[in-house]
Amino acid sequence: IGHAKSILLNYGLAQKYNGEFHMRFDDTNPTKEKTEFVESIKEDIKWLGADWKEHLYFASDYFDVMYECALKLIKKGKAFVCDLTADEIREYRGTLTEPGKNSPCRDRSVEENLELFERMKNGEFADGEKVLRAKIDMASPNINMRDP
C-alpha cells in the first residue's frame, strides 16, 4: 500500500504541475529478478491509473555509469573499499552526540582500492563482505553522512 500511495502522489503532482511521471524499477540484481514480477507490477500501476508513457527505467540500465562514477571517486581518493560488517560500520559511526572513528580500511591506497573494487565487480567476495564507502566526515552532525 505504501508504494501505491507514493506512486499516486507523485503521479498526481506530475499532472498538477504539468510535469512528467517517471517509473523506475530498482532491479539492482537483474540476474535474480523475474520479468513476470515487473510485468505484474506494471499492470497494477496502470490499474491504479498512473501512466509513465515513455518514461520507464531500470536501475540496471545505469550500472556502467555508476561503475565509472565509483572508479572516479576511488581515483580521487573520495571512496574506499571497506571490510567492516554492517554492525561494525554502525559502531564506527558514533552516536548523535559523539563523533565516529575512521574505518581501518579508510586509508588504503588508491591502487589497492581499485584492485579490490575490480575483484568485487568480478564476484570474488561474498555479498556484503566488502562495500564501497564514500569518504565524507566521521564527525558530521548528520550521522548518516559519516562515510556512508
Over residues 30-74, the pLDDT tens digits come to 777 678 888 999 999 999 999 999 999 999 899 999 999 999 999
- The residue out of 61, 90, 112 marking a domain boundary is 61
Q: Cell digits for 101? A: 572513528
Q: Residue 34: what pLDDT? A: 76
- Kindly state whether residue 38 falls inside one of the protein's structural domains: yes
Q: How far is CA 124 from CA 9, 29, 49, 108, 121, in A?
A: 42, 16, 44, 19, 8
Number of compact structural domains in the chain: 2
Task: Say if residue 135 is in the same domain as residue 85.
Answer: yes
Instruction: Tell me which of 110 and 3 has the higher pLDDT.
Output: 110
Is 80's pLDDT higher than 90? yes
CATH number at residue 6: 3.40.50.620
Task: Say if residue 49 is in the same domain as residue 13.
Answer: yes
Q: Residue 20: what pLDDT? A: 97
Is 2's pLDDT higher than 90? no
CATH number at residue 141: 3.90.800.10
Task: Say if residue 39 is in the same domain as residue 89.
Answer: no
- Kindly state whether residue 103 falls inside one of the protein's structural domains: yes
Is 98's pLDDT higher than 80? yes
Q: Which helix (DSSP H) or strand (DSSP E) does residue 23 occupy?
A: strand 23-25
Task: Say if residue 89 is in the same domain as residue 42.
Answer: no
**Domain enclosing residue 45, as ranges:** 2-61
Q: Residue 91: what pLDDT? A: 96
Q: What is the pTM of this model?
A: 0.77
Exposed e or buried b for every residue in 18-33, given b needs 16+ CB within 10 A? eeebebebebeeeeee
Query: Sign of torsion, CA 77 79 80 81?
Result: negative
User: What mean pLDDT is predicted for residues 6-27?
Assistant: 95
- Kindly state whether residue 67 falls inside one of the protein's structural domains: no
